[in-house]
Structure 1
Amino acid sequence: MTEQTAHPQPRPGLSDHPDVVVSVGTDHHAFDRLVRWIDDYARRRRDLRFLVQHGHSRAPRDVPGTPFLSGTELGDQMRAARVVVTHGGPGTIVQARAAGHLPVVVARDPELDEHVDDHQLLFVQRLEEAGRVRSCSTPQQLAALIDKALDNPEDFRVSGADEPEQAALRAGALIDLLVDPEPGPAPAGVPAAPQGPADWPEVTVVVPTRDRPELLRRTLRAVAEQDYPGRITTLVVYDNGRPDPSLAREGGDRPVRVLSNTLTPGLAGARNTGVAAAGTDLVAFCDDDDIWLPGKLRAQVRVMLEEPDTEVVCCGITVVYDRTECVRVLERTSVSFGDLLGSRLTELHPSTFLIRRRALVGGCGPVSEEIPGSYAEDYELLLRLARRRPVRNVPEAGVRVLWHRHSHFAGRWQTTSTALRWLLDRYPEFALVPRGHARVSGQIAFAEAASGRRGAALRWIAATLRRRPAEPRAHLALLVVCGIPPGWILRALHLRGRGV
């Protein structure tokens, strides 16, 4: 916790060791509720000494307070105190436990404008269940817990350097990922806009393909016709099929190479085969049934040039289904890990990905070949990339995405269900985002219903509704259980540019 000097209250001397130390952290949201509760309690306990670090909340009226303390000062005060009360911030909880206290914790509530979302409520609930804190949600509970800690101090003491602190630190880092970072200063030394072809970096496009020769040729034409001054090399990776050497094209600034998937059969292995063969810093993905619009690559590479730390850039799409078109554009230019847990964000389609190769080879790792059937491998890759730094987005449609009945995963409901269950197991962070968890479990419910597994579907429907009663996928799954053909529902959704 860093020292702040803006309008500080007179702080007590560090030798005036308080009986009760209260810390609300440094979040810019006020937490007046906890300060008020402490004031009320202190008026009944004139025999105790208090210190309240109140941050951006109002100063306490009846006890000493200070807006901010350095980490060293706060730690010293916590170690000397008899009881420590904190907000639900991971860092403050860890500091209290490191000082030897089982802290009494009041989580900030977003419904009261005390935080941006409910992650403190969820985090504190988990720590309470694990016995790492004692939580309360009313002034009566707070008073009772402080009294209990004063009367039975051994019940509120912990070892200051045990394994639970490391677990809390890991959980704290996880929580931080769920919150949009504060915008930082613009990077220094932004490169000048490229002038000629030599200033634009070469890009390798990886196009996995299987049994769609006509669509593939259309895709390759769209890549070759990009309004991009630099060189574009396309790698066509055949997955479980004989390569067509006639597609290869040498020379010029739009060469095409033809490869066979040498890794795990499936979309993930085919993408990784292409990435391994790429010799450029920038690698783009495009499915063999999608079409890039002419300005797509230029707009994305410009972002990469202006922001050297950016690892992935996406853009919007136009969904084409049964002669209808629907534009799906995400208006924001930055997407966080928390955003992706809350929503798949269909606009961030794999055919829009432009990625720095080093992020895959030496960073978060390649496309996962463990996902059953390679289903949602693109989404899982985005989650890993977003853990490192935000995903950048160009808020305009750059790709025409064809949805059709012959899509690779059409009707493969058991593969879909198995892969999504794998995703929930691999990313426990979903449990901290009820909306996101309900979205995935609702998809599992629909897949189980569509595959005729009525009992499993009903169990997943119930689990989904417990987390989020308004989750539409659970209700769609229930319609399928009741006899509505899943194809009818999918068609109605696809005509609107939507999917389950």
Structure 2
Amino acid sequence: MTEQTTRPNPHRDDEDDHPDVVVSVGTDHHAFDRLVRWIDDYARRHPDLSILVQYGHGSAPERASGVPFLPGDELTEAMRHARVVVAHGGPGTITQARSAGRMPIVVARDPELEEHVDDHQLLFVERMEGAGRIRGCSTAQQLHTFIDKALASPEDFRVAPETDGGAERAALRAGELIDLVTDGATTEPVTPTAVVDDTWPEVTVVVPTRGRPELLRRTLRAVAEQDYPGRVTTIVVFDNDRPDPSLALDEGERRVEVMTNTQTPGLAGARNTGVLAAVTDLVAFCDDDDTWLPDKLRAQVEIMRSEPGTDMVCCGIRVVYDKVESERVLDRTSVSFGDLLGSRLTELHPSTFLIRRSAMVDGCGAVSEEIPGSYAEDYELLLRLARRGPIRNIPEAGVRVLWHRKSFFAERWQTISTALRWLLRRYPEFRLVPRGYARITGQIAFAEASAGRRGRALRWIGTTLRARPAEGRAYLAFLVICGVPPGWILRILHLRGKGV
């Protein structure tokens, strides 16, 4: 990457012309294109601002001015004169910004997006934010909001360099912190040493798994590191796969049990195996390729404690696909059966489910093992639980959901079509809600078209348009019939955090 590939940088031609916003991704050999893309989006909406991005080994910005690297003294000088400083989660860059008198807005590099070799920036930024030394953010919306605040109230984003005791001392403190958060870090689940508060109910987390050992260990680690005062037992259920006994933890307050699926093979049977083995009233689900954010469980259990009549609590998600992260949060606190007939509400992802075990075992029943291939078993469970009473929702993201080609239902078109037709037969109420009925028939049309069954796809397209002419899935299915690859369509949708 050379400077000749970038847009001209007008801010370096005139010593008195300094950029309003300075962004630094550091010198790590991994690209940090996500941050550059977020800044470009902000630059498009604010053409009056001058923005300089030091973008390192990644792609140059399209709208903001960019330079791959800057000498340290030039970058410090630019930070000192900037109205806003945005940085990656490197201790050196954060210290540099504070030594320039700026409270940096920080976005940590994420190893899941191949932005770093490990998660030490995520841990470091979390602790620095807790100490009030940075403004941390993890979504484009948060970043843009912080930049707006810094421009509107610059005094809130200024620090006195002398209070840090100089750059050298700040760097030493940063090094101590980074040693603290990375000391002994492994891919194994960890057991926190915090004292458990027995007034908080114990929770059982059911994690079905098959053939994803590395992702599974990351999932277990996120559960173990929950900021939750009570005990947590995780039951890992291996479905059509050899169990790994090394995952089991019998001591501490974050226990892990390992077992095989004793019910119907598939996702539904694996979930039920864990639910039936649980001895706690509260049961949570988490897929083996997803990770909980630290305060997810505490926030949900707080609702369960204060609302004894609530059977289920969900929350929002952050969808990660092909190095792009999108936030999906449902802007409501209660969801009814009618709401779910009208829309799947994909924000209510199974990895966000916290359920009273009695509501399933002694109430509406366990996860349906009749659904072909276990496809949409989570949605069907939502429908049954919503019939008992409204489902509570926390309108904040609590889970990072990884979408990838190894997902259980990726391109299993026949299974998807069969399962959705089963759902329509089981819930005739869909015909009373044209929008919801057309959504499902449109999904069936897309699946049939993707499977190459043109005649069936055309019939389902017709059914969809008769129910709701504006249903976009019918037109997507028609594009597939005309030769557009379904994978291309799915990729465009997934990059926006959406699906068919």
Query: After the TM superposition, which segments of 4 or more aligned residues of structure 1 sit over 6 Å from their partners?
Result: none
Residue in structure 2 matched with residue 229 of structure 1 by the alignment? 229
Question: Following the alignment from structure 2 to structure 1, what is the Cα–Cα distance between the partners of residues 315 and 491?
Answer: 25
Structure-to-structure mapping, 1:68-107, within 5 angstroms:
none
Question: Following the alignment from structure 2 to structure 1, what is the Cα–Cα distance between the partners of residues 331 and 295?
Answer: 18
Residue in structure 2 matched with residue 267 of structure 1 by the alignment? 267
Task: Give the superposition deviation at 1:331.
Answer: 1.0
Question: Following the alignment from structure 1 to structure 2, what is the Cα–Cα distance between the partners of residues 326 and 423?
Answer: 28
Question: Following the alignment from structure 1 to structure 2, what is the Cα–Cα distance between the partners of residues 412 and 281?
Answer: 35
Residue in structure 1 matched with residue 486 of structure 2 by the alignment? 486
Residue in structure 2 matched with residue 434 of structure 1 by the alignment? 434
Please say which structure displays the higher CA radius of gyration.
1
From the superposition, tell whether residues 196 and 212 of structure 1 become closer, same or farther in structure 2 (CA, over 3 Å): closer
Query: CA contact under 8 A between 2:320 and 2:402: conserved in structure 1?
Result: yes
The secondary structure found in structure 1 opposite 2:207 is strand
Question: Following the alignment from structure 1 to structure 2, what is the Cα–Cα distance between the partners of residues 360 and 386?
Answer: 12
Residue 316 of structure 2 is aligned to residue 312 of structure 1: no
Structure-to-structure mapping, 1:62-141, within 5 angstroms:
none
Residue in structure 1 matched with residue 414 of structure 2 by the alignment? 414
Task: Kindly provide the CA deviation profile for residues 335-393 of structure 1, in whole angstroms up to 9, marking residues without a partner as x.
Answer: 00000000000000000000000011000000000000000000000000000100000
Task: Kindly provide the CA deviation profile for residues 243-282 of structure 1, in whole angstroms up to 9, marking residues without a partner as x.
Answer: 0000000111000000100000000000000000000000
Residue in structure 2 matched with residue 373 of structure 1 by the alignment? 373
Q: Which amino acid aligns with 2:226?
A: Q
Residue in structure 2 matched with residue 361 of structure 1 by the alignment? 361
Q: Normalised by the size of structure 1, how large is the TM-score?
A: 0.61
Task: Give the superposition deviation at 1:478.
Answer: 0.3
Question: Following the alignment from structure 1 to structure 2, what is the Cα–Cα distance between the partners of residues 227 and 258?
Answer: 23
Structural RMSD (CA): 0.9
Question: Following the alignment from structure 2 to structure 1, what is the Cα–Cα distance between the partners of residues 257 and 406?
Answer: 26
Residue in structure 2 matched with residue 473 of structure 1 by the alignment? 473
Structure-to-structure mapping, 1:242-253, within 5 angstroms:
242-253=242-253
Q: Which amino acid aligns with 1:478?
A: F
Question: Following the alignment from structure 1 to structure 2, what is the Cα–Cα distance between the partners of residues 212 and 461?
Answer: 36
Question: Following the alignment from structure 1 to structure 2, what is the Cα–Cα distance between the partners of residues 406 and 209?
Answer: 12
Question: Following the alignment from structure 1 to structure 2, what is the Cα–Cα distance between the partners of residues 210 and 251?
Answer: 25
From the superposition, tell whether residues 288 and 196 of structure 1 become closer, same or farther in structure 2 (CA, over 3 Å): closer
Task: Give the superposition deviation at 1:406.
Answer: 1.1
Question: Following the alignment from structure 1 to structure 2, what is the Cα–Cα distance between the partners of residues 350 and 487?
Answer: 24
Residue in structure 2 matched with residue 447 of structure 1 by the alignment? 447
Residue 203 of structure 2 is aligned to residue 215 of structure 1: no
Query: CA contact under 8 A between 2:196 and 2:231: conserved in structure 1?
Result: no
Identity over the aligned pairs, expressed in percent?
79
Q: Which amino acid aligns with 2:378?
A: D
Question: Following the alignment from structure 2 to structure 1, what is the Cα–Cα distance between the partners of residues 456 and 482?
Answer: 14
Residue in structure 2 matched with residue 192 of structure 1 by the alignment? none
Question: Following the alignment from structure 1 to structure 2, what is the Cα–Cα distance between the partners of residues 383 and 442?
Answer: 19
The count of corresponding residues between Structure 1 and Structure 2 is: 306
Question: Following the alignment from structure 1 to structure 2, what is the Cα–Cα distance between the partners of residues 386 and 269?
Answer: 21
Residue in structure 1 matched with residue 335 of structure 2 by the alignment? 335
Task: Give the superposition deviation at 1:199.
Answer: 1.2
The secondary structure found in structure 2 opposite 1:280 is coil
Q: Which amino acid aligns with 1:294?
A: P
Question: Following the alignment from structure 2 to structure 1, what is the Cα–Cα distance between the partners of residues 314 and 274?
Answer: 19
Q: Which amino acid aligns with 2:481?
A: V
Query: CA contact under 8 A between 2:225 and 2:294: conserved in structure 1?
Result: yes
Query: CA contact under 8 A between 2:368 and 2:381: conserved in structure 1?
Result: yes
Structure 2 gap segments, 5+ residues each: 1-194
Residue in structure 1 matched with residue 423 of structure 2 by the alignment? 423
Task: Kindly provide the CA deviation profile for residues 434-477 of structure 1, in whole angstroms up to 9, marking residues without a partner as x.
Answer: 00000000000000000000000000000000010000000000
Residue in structure 2 matched with residue 385 of structure 1 by the alignment? 385
Task: Give the superposition deviation at 1:198.
Answer: 1.4
Question: Following the alignment from structure 2 to structure 1, what is the Cα–Cα distance between the partners of residues 380 and 451?
Answer: 24
Residue in structure 1 matched with residue 241 of structure 2 by the alignment? 241
Q: Which amino acid aligns with 2:235?
A: L
Question: Following the alignment from structure 1 to structure 2, what is the Cα–Cα distance between the partners of residues 414 and 239?
Answer: 21
Task: Kindly provide the CA deviation profile for residues 291-321 of structure 1, in whole angstroms up to 9, marking residues without a partner as x.
Answer: 0000000000000001000000000000000
The secondary structure found in structure 1 opposite 2:326 is strand
Q: Which amino acid aligns with 2:295?
A: G
Task: Kindly provide the CA deviation profile for residues 372-418 of structure 1, in whole angstroms up to 9, marking residues without a partner as x.
Answer: 00000000000000001000001100000000011110010000000
The secondary structure found in structure 1 opposite 2:254 is coil
Query: CA contact under 8 A between 2:210 and 2:238: conserved in structure 1?
Result: yes
Query: CA contact under 8 A between 2:196 and 2:253: conserved in structure 1?
Result: no
Question: Following the alignment from structure 1 to structure 2, what is the Cα–Cα distance between the partners of residues 291 and 198?
Answer: 25
Question: Following the alignment from structure 2 to structure 1, what is the Cα–Cα distance between the partners of residues 354 and 449?
Answer: 36
Residue in structure 2 matched with residue 22 of structure 1 by the alignment? none
Task: Give the superposition deviation at 1:196.
Answer: 7.3
Question: Following the alignment from structure 1 to structure 2, what is the Cα–Cα distance between the partners of residues 442 and 196?
Answer: 49
Q: Which amino acid aligns with 2:338?
A: G
Structure-to-structure mapping, 1:13-24, within 5 angstroms:
none
Q: Normalised by the size of structure 2, how large is the TM-score?
A: 0.61
Question: Following the alignment from structure 2 to structure 1, what is the Cα–Cα distance between the partners of residues 496 and 196?
Answer: 41
The secondary structure found in structure 2 opposite 1:305 is helix
Residue in structure 2 matched with residue 99 of structure 1 by the alignment? none
Question: Following the alignment from structure 1 to structure 2, what is the Cα–Cα distance between the partners of residues 365 and 198?
Answer: 29
Question: Following the alignment from structure 1 to structure 2, what is the Cα–Cα distance between the partners of residues 466 and 391?
Answer: 31
The secondary structure found in structure 1 opposite 2:444 is helix
Question: Following the alignment from structure 2 to structure 1, what is the Cα–Cα distance between the partners of residues 472 and 402?
Answer: 24
Task: Kindly provide the CA deviation profile for residues 182-203 of structure 1, in whole angstroms up to 9, marking residues without a partner as x.
Answer: xxxxxxxxxxxxx971111000
Residue in structure 1 matched with residue 324 of structure 2 by the alignment? 324
Question: Following the alignment from structure 2 to structure 1, what is the Cα–Cα distance between the partners of residues 339 and 411?
Answer: 28
Residue 280 of structure 2 is aligned to residue 280 of structure 1: yes
The secondary structure found in structure 1 opposite 2:490 is helix
Q: Which amino acid aligns with 1:264?
A: T
Residue in structure 1 matched with residue 197 of structure 2 by the alignment? 197
Residue in structure 1 matched with residue 160 of structure 2 by the alignment? none
Question: Following the alignment from structure 1 to structure 2, what is the Cα–Cα distance between the partners of residues 412 and 456?
Answer: 16
Residue in structure 1 matched with residue 132 of structure 2 by the alignment? none
Task: Kindly provide the CA deviation profile for residues 74-120 of structure 1, in whole angstroms up to 9, marking residues without a partner as x.
Answer: xxxxxxxxxxxxxxxxxxxxxxxxxxxxxxxxxxxxxxxxxxxxxxx
The secondary structure found in structure 1 opposite 2:397 is strand
Query: CA contact under 8 A between 2:413 and 2:447: conserved in structure 1?
Result: yes
Residue in structure 2 matched with residue 401 of structure 1 by the alignment? 401
Q: Which amino acid aligns with 1:354?
A: L
Query: CA contact under 8 A between 2:284 and 2:353: conserved in structure 1?
Result: yes
Q: Which amino acid aligns with 1:201?
A: P
The secondary structure found in structure 2 opposite 1:199 is coil
Question: Following the alignment from structure 1 to structure 2, what is the Cα–Cα distance between the partners of residues 196 and 207?
Answer: 23
Question: Following the alignment from structure 2 to structure 1, what is the Cα–Cα distance between the partners of residues 332 and 484?
Answer: 36
Residue in structure 1 matched with residue 352 of structure 2 by the alignment? 352
Task: Kindly provide the CA deviation profile for residues 113-141 of structure 1, in whole angstroms up to 9, marking residues without a partner as x.
Answer: xxxxxxxxxxxxxxxxxxxxxxxxxxxxx
Residue in structure 1 matched with residue 294 of structure 2 by the alignment? 294
Structure 1 gap segments, 5+ residues each: 1-194
The secondary structure found in structure 1 opposite 2:415 is helix
Query: CA contact under 8 A between 2:206 and 2:235: conserved in structure 1?
Result: yes
Q: Which amino acid aligns with 2:382?
A: L
Q: Which amino acid aligns with 1:405?
A: R
